[in-house]
Amino acid sequence: MMSLHGANGAVEHGGGADGASLPDHAVWIDLNDPTAEEAAQVERKTGIRIPSRAALSEVESSSRLRRNRDGLSLSTPMVTFDRSDFSLKPLGFLLTADHLVTVRFHEMRAFAAVRKRVDDGDGDGSTSTRMFLLVVEELVDNLADLLEEMSGDLDSLSTRIFDFDAGARPGARKGDTTAPKRRDLALRRLLRSVGRHGKSLAKVRASLLGLGRIIAFAKSECQQGLGEGDLPRFDTLAGDIASIDEFETRLSETVQFLLDATLGLINIEQNNAFRILTVVSVVGVPPTLVASIYGMNFKHMPELDWAYGYPYGLALIVISAIAPLLYFRKRGWL
């Protein structure tokens, strides 16, 4: 789909195969998963070569940030902002003195917000550079909002992890015990949740890193042609990205801390299981020893002729089993 935005604030959609159908006043041309016909149409009208998705996905810095004959070609991976399908997809900016062409492959509310801001007179999109700044500002705001949501999610996750005994079973109180299988499933869910947050933060970090490089490169390349109010906006954007990056770093450290805590809980559960097995094995040793002694086939065994020998042997077996349990309980091992 093609979206055109002119300096007068009008928004038009579509476009045919004829390049003349693109109006001359269009400053911003937004291509969302463009077809070959739409890309060719824009190329004929603006003279800007539209890169393919594969070209925008290149990881080399020289491929993502470069000056062409007509202007700047900039690209970065950008998160989808869809928590149900959180992934990175390429986003491209083609910036010339007269036009800004954005190439993307997924819906982003930042672009709709920019169009609304310009239509409402809340943003100056009179030049391609200012339109570029509006788009990047909105993307940075969206990333900040996303990190704030993740911060709230991590706070809730932290409560679940450190109140695990209370939260392992619905309605249970802290200190209550649950079935080992249920506790195991709860720990698995916590571990998966921590992992998902870690992956999401890594993708946000990649987006922030890409935008930071784009702003620094565009500022250095466009500095001679910037308007009086444009240069401070570049500096403000760079500062915002740096502060958000610091916030993301703290969230990543929180994720690592929660991961360590979750693994610690898993180790505790494993140790408890091994402790129970150890106690059971130790408790079974004395009765086995007693039964082995009285199971020997010697001819002269005093207890064989004793009327109370059998009850005595059973009692001795029971006592030898209970004594270690009482000892372990007294020491706090049970």
Q: What is the pLDDT of residues 84-107, one digit of tens each?
A: 788 899 999 999 888 899 999 988
Beta bridge partners of 66: 73
Burial of 192 (0-12, 13-18, 19+ CB in 10 A): exposed
Which tokens belong to 197? Answer: 């947050």
The pLDDT of residue 247 is: 96
- Pick 7 or 4 by higher pLDDT: 4
Whole-angstrom distance, CA of residue 288 vs CA of residue 294? 10
Q: In the chain, what percentage of residues exceed pLDDT 90? A: 35
The DSSP code for 52 is: P
Whole-angstrom distance, CA of residue 257 vs CA of residue 170? 25
What is the end-to-end Cα distance of the chain in Å, rounded? 67
Mean of all residue pLDDT scores within the chain: 83
Radius of gyration of the chain (CA): 34
Whether 32 contacts 107, CB under 8 Å: yes
Segment 147-182, tens digit of pLDDT: 999 999 999 999 999 888 654 554 445 444 456 778
Instruction: Give the side-chain half-sphere CA count within 13 A for 72.
Output: 23
The pLDDT of residue 225 is: 60
Whole-angstrom distance, CA of residue 55 vs CA of residue 92? 10
For residues 9-31, average pLDDT: 60
φ/ψ (deg, to 5) at 298 = -85, 150
Whole-angstrom distance, CA of residue 234 vs CA of residue 240? 10
- Pick 22 or 157 by higher pLDDT: 157
Whole-angstrom distance, CA of residue 321 vs CA of residue 116? 78
The pLDDT of residue 300 is: 79
Beta bridge partners of 157: none
Q: How confident is the model at residue 9 (pLDDT cuts 50, 70, 90)?
A: very low
pLDDT tops 60 at residue 31: yes
From the list 209, 239, 27, the residue with the least C-alpha distance to 130 is 27
Neighbours of 228 (CB within 10 A): 6
Whole-angstrom distance, CA of residue 208 vs CA of residue 220? 19
pLDDT tops 60 at residue 131: yes
Beta bridge partners of 29: 4, 101
Q: Counting every residue, how long is the chain?
A: 334
Segment 252-282, tens digit of pLDDT: 999 999 999 999 988 888 888 888 888 888 8
Whole-angstrom distance, CA of residue 218 vs CA of residue 313? 91
Whether 106 contacts 94, CB under 8 Å: no
Q: How confident is the model at residue 211 (pLDDT cuts 50, 70, 90)?
A: very high
Beta strands in the chain (DSSP E): 2-6, 11-13, 26-32, 65-67, 72-79, 88-95, 100-104
Instruction: Give the side-chain half-sphere CA count within 13 A for 221.
Output: 20
pLDDT tops 80 at residue 226: no
Whole-angstrom distance, CA of residue 180 vs CA of residue 272? 10
Whether 111 contacts 30, CB under 8 Å: yes
